[in-house]
Structure 1
Amino acid sequence: MDKKKGSWESSGCEKGGISRSFANSAHMAKELFSVEEKNGRPRNFALSPLSIDLVLYMLAAGLQGSTLEQMLKFLGSESRDEILSKSQNMMDVLDTLSSNEGENDNVLCMVNGIWVDEHCPLIESSQPDESEPSYMKQPNEPSYMDQVLIKIFKCDIKSNVKFLENAIGVVDEINSWANDASKGLIKNLVPYGVLNKESGLFLANALYFKGMWDYKHKFSEDQTCEKHFYTLDGEKVSASFMTSVWKYHCKSFDTFKVLKIPYQERVHGKFSMYFFLPESQYGLPNLLEELSGHPQEDYFNLEEVKFEKLLIPKFDFSYNFDVAATLKKNRFPSMEDSKDFSKMVKIRRGVPNFATNMFQKVVIKVDEKGTEAAAVTRSDFPRSARSKRMSFVADHPFMFMIKEENSGLIFFMGSVLNPSL
């Protein structure tokens, strides 16, 4: 990728290769599985690590004090300047990758948005104090709004929002924004009753991806068949499985296999979907544990093979979760001290604390033609030895991932525990 346009590698985020980013993403997937397991009946889940990172970087760039220190540790950065540099490079890469090539072609869209309550407005460009002698005047630091929201993240900014007086109207506006940004996949992002008199800021990122399988890796609907899928609780359900006679890139490891299916190439991007299939019907928990520990570059250095049998289930599901609660064990920052937000907004007197919420909703569809996926992440801040012929039969729980090969960015990740849901 053209480094003048912005290279993810040049930002310093990928020192050590894809492994660190992959491990962090796999760790989030493992935590989501733990949450689902505790609920008693695990369901399909998905997340967009990239969308979460975008909201966290957008937020971190405006913090200070102990909250900034916590965020820097969580994001693996040394300073706010490093956050700004990484954010700019990340957005440059996404700007290069983004396209809208037509309804039936590959599409990648990304937008950021912020809604700000009228009682804690964004700090705009500072004006020089004319009462000071010229020799005492200090160069003005660009405001958070100018430097971060506008210049780097190109945010849709909605200021002077009435969270209290017009909460229903604001919810409708945010949900309409999410619906448009996700091409209609993400509906009802924010439920009524979430915004109230304590609400101050609402940050959001929306990602939409539509990828058609590469011409040499298409699936024919005529070949799709009904077979059994075996769940973690020992049940078997009927599911529609895609199959193909094409050659694919695949590799066997000790306890699982990895399969790559490329999408049609773009001018500035090369996307692929990876399937991580445990050998055992009950192997998904151990797989997630292994991948979140010390992932290897070999996971993506695959060999082209012709399968004796290839079966992948179609799936279509949505998933939403509390990001902050899920990542709490991973030292997710506690953002409660209002003064640490004073570079971003004007804090009213008598508002000592903020309460932090962060949520994500993901929709993903995989069929014979390709993949359609969307994610919206929101963060609101209320003021308070193998044979020559290999088989890949995904008839039990597995993990998937959508990655852009040149940048190493992981756009979506998740697990299918029951494709019939």
Structure 2
Amino acid sequence: MAEQTDTHLSPQPNGKFTINFFETVKDGKDGENIFFSPVSIHLSLAMTMLGALGNTAQQLKTALQLLEMDSGDLHEEFCKMLDVVRSAREGSSLHIANRHFVQNDYKLLKTFQDASQKFYKADAKNVDFASNTEASRLEINKWVGEETQNWITDLLPSGSLSSLTRLVLVNACYFKGDWKSKFNVQLTKPEVFHVSSTRKENVLMMKQRGKFNLGFHAMHSFWFLELPYLNEDLSMFLVVPTEIEGLQKFEKNIDMDLLNQMEKQLIMENSVFVCLPQFRIRMNVDLVKTLQKMGVTDLFSEKSCDLKGICEDDLHVASAVHESFMLVDEEGTEAAAATAVVMNLRCAPRPPMEVKVDRPFIFYIKDKKSGQILFFGRYNKPMEHLAVCC
């Protein structure tokens, strides 16, 4: 099942960044749920790259897996990718918005402003960080809430901005898609989810029988299932180990090339009974710590940061945050994510008739038209308010 892309931007940087980011952020989080939007983080840092120079730009380019791309064409290709991702889709809503919040009377370079608008459709909004920091924070959070249908309402927590803040680059991403084949609500009932070989919890398990693309990887022992949305350019892919604790083994060998290969080798099966838990997942990520582990250090250093392509003053990134949320039910999927970059002045066997997702699994939502991964996660355990008591 070959993947089609209508954009010149290769899906490889997005995929490689996704896996590297996942491997970094999951460190020390054994047994925890993980969820993020690669495209939201990628776009926010790409916007930052517009004004980054020297080693600061090189570190960003390395972390974003963009070294093989020509710097002159990089942002043009991001622009083309955004046009494809934003194109109208029947039965789904995919919304991506970018905005700069700038201190009143603070002079950004015209070249940066023009490029931000041209490539990322990022308009600028003046606020007063210097004398009214809290009101500015609330205004940014309000905008993010509006752009994500109020799924992300407190992206910037109290204390995340200061009177020295001069610029905040924000990306908001919202997705809502109906399944091509919806689950029968009447079949949903409490069933066991194996958090581990020794721990079980009850979840609401959704069920349906239908035709689905399915594959099996014998070496790593996992089922690979595609659940398409009504617009078949968009799909959720599931990696379901055959063993209850098999995900830990798979994660040691996870590779985007492997997942891409599995996508191409999927086979349409005429009758598969799918059991999938209803689930919600939400995560906040401190991008500063994560990106530093990925080699982006100068960006956060008052001494070394070079953002002279944004303004003539000495800016550095004081904080960077990312929050994402997803809801999966019988009708489909609703997901949202937002990223803010805050800049301060220096200071194989036959497939089974049943695929039962009753153990930890990996999932991702992909826009096959552009090849971009929109959301990526690991589901280890039910959130407390969704656990079901039988």
TM-score with structure 2 length normalisation? 0.88
1:139-288 → structure 2 map (5 Å cutoff): 143-146=111-114, 148-159=115-126, 161-214=127-180, 217-232=181-196, 234-254=198-218, 255-265=221-231, 270-288=233-251
Question: What is the distance in 1 between the residues matched to 2:199 and 2:162?
Answer: 44
Alpha-carbon contact 1:245-1:306 (below 8 Å) kept: no
Q: Which whole-Å CA distance do the structure 1 matches of 2:175 and 2:272 have between them? A: 31
Q: Structure 2 CA distance, aligned partners of 1:91 and 1:123?
A: 24
Counterpart contact for 2:98–2:120, Cα < 8 Å: yes
Cα deviation code 1:161-217 (max 9, x no counterpart):
321311111011001001000011111111121111221221111111000011xx2
Of 361, 365, 368, 1:402 maps to 365
1:391 to 347, 351, 354: 354
Alignment partner of 2:262 out of 299, 310, 321? 299
Deviates more, 1:148-157 or 1:170-179: 148-157
Larger Rg: 1
Out of 384-393 and 241-250, give the one that drifted further. Answer: 384-393
Does 297-306 or 383-392 show the bigger shift?
A: 383-392
Q: Secondary structure at the match of 2:338?
A: strand
| Contact 1:108–1:208 under 8 Å retained in 2 | yes
Change (3 A) 1:339 1:403: closer
Contact 1:27 1:288 in 2 (8 A): no
Q: Which amino acid aligns with 1:123?
A: L
The C-alpha deviation readout for 1:109-130, integer Å capped at 9, x for no partner, is 1100111224642123xxxxxx
1:379 corresponds to which residue? 341
Amino acid at match of 1:85: E
1:397 positional shift: 0.5
Q: What is the aligned length? A: 372
Shift of 1:248: 1.1
Matched position secondary structure for 2:190 = strand
Shift of 1:339: 7.2
Query: For 1:246, what is the secondary structure of its paired residue?
Result: strand
- Answer yes or no: is the 8 Å Cα contact 1:119–1:200 preserved in 2: no
Q: Does 1:366 align with 2:332?
A: no
For the residues of structure 2 that align with 1:367 and 1:296, how far apart are their CA atoms?
24
Q: Matched residues, percent identical? A: 26
Please say if 1:110 is aligned against 2:96.
yes
Identify the residue that residue 91 of structure 1 maps to in structure 2. 82
1:406 deviates by: 2.0
Task: Return the structure number with greater strand share.
Answer: 2
1:357 deviation in Å?
Answer: 2.2
Alignment partner of 1:58: what SS?
Answer: helix
CA distance in 1, matches of 2:305, 2:294: 24
Residues 244 and 120 of structure 1: CA distance in aligned 2, closer, same or farther (over 3 Å): same
Structure 1 counterpart of 2:45, from 46, 53, 56: 56
1:388–1:381 CA distance, 2 compared to 1 (3 A): closer
Residue identity opposite 1:52 in structure 2: I
SS of residue matched to 2:244: coil
- 1:129 is aligned to none
- For residues 328 and 234 of structure 1, do their structure 2 counterparts lie closer, same or farther at Cα, with a shift above 3 Å needed? farther
User: What stretches of structure 1 of length at least 5 have no aligned partner?
Assistant: 1-5, 125-142
| Partner residue, 1:31 | 24
Residue of structure 2 equivalent to 1:121: 107
Q: Aligned partner of 1:303: which letter?
A: I
Alpha-carbon offset, residue 420 of structure 1: 4.1
Aligned residue for 1:121, secondary structure, equals coil
Does structure 1 conserve the Cα–Cα contact (< 8 Å) formed by 2:160 and 2:319? no
RMSD: 2.3
DSSP 3-state at the match of 2:29: helix
Distance in 2, matches of 1:385 and 1:83, equals 39
Matched, 1:329 2:293: yes
1: CA distance, partners of 2:277 / 2:351: 24
Tell me how far 1:343 sits from its aligned partner: 2.0
The corresponding residue for 1:317 is 281
1:85–1:414 Cα change, 3 Å? same
Deviates more, 1:382-391 or 1:359-368: 382-391
Q: Structure 1 residues 315, 388: closer, same or farther in 2, change over 3 A?
A: closer
- What is the Cα deviation at residue 307 of structure 1? 5.2
Q: Give the match's secondary structure for 2:140.
A: helix
Kept in 1: contact 2:192–2:358 (CA 8 A): yes
